Amino acid sequence: MAHKLTIVILLAATLAPGLGQGIELVDGHVQIHGFASQAAINTSDNHYFGDSPDTSFELTELGLNLSYQPDPEWLFSGQLLSRRAGEMYDGTPSLDYALIDHALLADAERRLGVRVGRIKNPIGLYNETRDVPFTRPGIFLPQVIYYDKVRNLFLSSDGAMLYGDLFGPSGNLSLTLSGGQAVIDDNVEWAYLGEDFDGDLESNGVSLKTATLWYSTPAEQLKVGLSAIMMDMDFDAGAASPLDAGSIEVFDWIVSLQYNARDWTLSAEYAQTPTRWKDFGPLFPYEDQVMEGYYLQGAYRLRPNLEIMARYEEGFADRDDRSGRKRSEQVGNVPRYDFFSKIATLGLRWDITQNLMLRLEYQHHDGTYSLSWRENPDPSDLTREWNVFAASISTRF
Count of alpha carbons within 13 Å of 333, Cβ hemisphere only? 6
pLDDT tens digits for range 18-38: 445 667 665 668 999 999 999
pLDDT tens digits for range 232-246: 999 999 989 999 999
Give me the pLDDT at residue 179, please: 95
Give me the pLDDT at residue 175, please: 97
pLDDT tens digits for range 44-97: 999 999 999 999 999 999 999 999 999 989 999 999 999 999 999 999 999 999
CA angle, 47 then 48 then 49, to 5°: 115
Whether the per-residue pLDDT at 6 is higher than 50: the answer is: no
Secondary structure of residue 193 in the 3-state scheme: helix
Count of alpha carbons within 13 Å of 384, Cβ hemisphere only? 8
Confidence of residue 256 (pLDDT cuts 50, 70, 90): very high
What domain range is 48 assigned to? 2-396
Domain count, the chain: 1
Give me the pLDDT at residue 22, please: 65
| Cα–Cα distance, 17 to 312 (Å, whole number) | 35
Phi, psi of 6 (to 5 degrees): -65, -40
Whether the per-residue pLDDT at 142 is higher than 80: the answer is: yes
pLDDT tens digits for range 342-355: 999 999 999 999 99
* Residue-averaged pLDDT of the chain: 91
| Cα–Cα distance, 112 to 106 (Å, whole number) | 6
Give me the pLDDT at residue 3, please: 45
| Cα–Cα distance, 134 to 165 (Å, whole number) | 26
CB contact at 8 A, 236 and 280: no
Whether the per-residue pLDDT at 16 is higher than 90: the answer is: no
Which stretches does DSSP call E strand in 317-384?
340-353, 356-366
User: CATH code at 156?
Assistant: 2.40.160.10
The DSSP output letter for 187 is H
Stretch 275-286: mean pLDDT: 89
Give me the pLDDT at residue 26, please: 59
| Cα–Cα distance, 237 to 240 (Å, whole number) | 8
Give me the pLDDT at residue 24, please: 62
Give me the pLDDT at residue 333, please: 84
Per the model's pLDDT, the better-predicted residue between 226 and 3 turns out to be: 226
